[in-house]
Amino acid sequence: MNVLVAGGAGYIGSHAVKQLIEAGHRVVAVDNLYRGHSQAVHPQATFREIDLADMQSLVDVLAENKIDCVMHFAALAYVGESVADPLSYYENNTAGTISLLKAMDTTGVKRLVFSSTCATYGEPETTPIVETMRQEPISPYGWSKWCVERVLKDYAAADKEFAFVSLRYFNVAGCATDGSLGEDHDPETHLIPVVLQTALGRREKVTVFGTDYPTPDGTCIRDYIHVEDLCTAHITAMEALRPGDGRFYNLGIGRGYSVREVIDSARRITGIDIPVEYGKRRPGDPAVLFADAGKIQHELGWSARYTGIDQIVATAWRWFEKHPNGYTD
Give tens-digit pLDDT for 197-231: 999 999 999 999 999 999 999 999 999 999 999 99
**Do 20 and 29 contact (CB within 8 A), yes or no?**
no
Give tens-digit pLDDT for 51-71: 999 999 999 999 999 999 999
Give tens-digit pLDDT for 243-252: 999 999 999 9
* CA contacts within 13 A on the Cβ side of 267: 12
- DSSP for 251-307 reads ES-SS-EEHHHHHHHHHHHH-----EEEEPPPTT--SEE-B--HHHHHHH----S--
Mean pLDDT score, 127-133: 96
Measured between alpha carbons, how far is 8 from 20 in angstroms, rounded to an integer? 11
* CA contacts within 13 A on the Cβ side of 290: 16
* Topology given in CATH for the domain delimited by 191-223+254-328: UDP-galactose 4-epimerase; domain 1 (3.90.25)
Give tens-digit pLDDT for 23-32: 999 999 999 9
pLDDT over 80 (residue 329)? no
- Band of the pLDDT at 34, cuts 50, 70, 90? very high
Mean pLDDT score, 111-131: 95
DSSP 8-state symbol, 29: E
pLDDT value of residue 114: 98
Give tens-digit pLDDT for 272-299: 999 999 999 988 788 999 999 999 999 9
Degrees, nearest 5: CA angle 319-181-72: 140
Mean pLDDT score, 35-57: 98
Q: Helix (H, G, I), strand (E, B), or coil: what is residue 231?
A: helix
| Average pLDDT of the residues of the chain | 97
pLDDT value of residue 132: 97
pLDDT value of residue 39: 97
Mean pLDDT score, 314-325: 97
Which residue of the set 11, 90, 121, 141 is catalytic?
141
Measured between alpha carbons, how far is 205 from 232 in angstroms, rounded to an integer? 34
In terms of C-beta density within 10 A (0-12 exposed, 13-18 middle, 19 or more buried), how is residue 17 classed? buried
Higher pLDDT pick, 329 / 202: 202
Stretch (H or E) spanning 325: none
pLDDT value of residue 289: 93
Residue range(s) of every CATH 3.90.25.10 domain in the chain: 191-223+254-328
- Is 306 tagged catalytic? no
Residue range(s) of every CATH 3.40.50.720 domain in the chain: 2-173+225-251
* Topology given in CATH for the domain delimited by 2-173+225-251: Rossmann fold (3.40.50)
Nearest by Cα to 120 from 90, 149, 95 = 149
pLDDT over 80 (residue 236)? yes
